[in-house]
Amino acid sequence: MTTEAITPLRQRMIEDMTARKLCAGTQRGHILACKRFAAFLKRSPDTATRDDIRRFQLQLAETGMSICNLECTPKVRHKNKENSP
């Protein structure tokens, strides 16, 4: 058992995935993808811009990640109009 604290962002993600009835393996995959994205950003994924997401996807493609891995990388929902579609 781990004593690692869960951030509010991760807790919300877990709750959302559970509500959508995603299996444990799928949830682990999504969490690992978020961890990779956070490591790439060197900050919390909820602070990412569209350009950050694009740079991360380009980096994944350059390193030979499969299209499945690219599609499974979570998309960040932006909170302000500057980043909205």
* Gap between the Cα atoms of 70 and 84, Å rounded: 21
Q: Averaged over 45-51, what is the pLDDT? A: 93
**Which residues span the domain enclosing 63?**
8-75
Classify residue 1: in a domain, yes or no: no
**pLDDT at residue 28 greater than cutoff 60:** yes
Say what the pTM is: 0.67
Classify residue 83: in a domain, yes or no: no
Residue 55 exposure: Cα atoms within 13 Å on the Cβ side: 9
**Average pLDDT, rounded, for the chain:** 79
Q: How many domains does the chain have?
A: 1
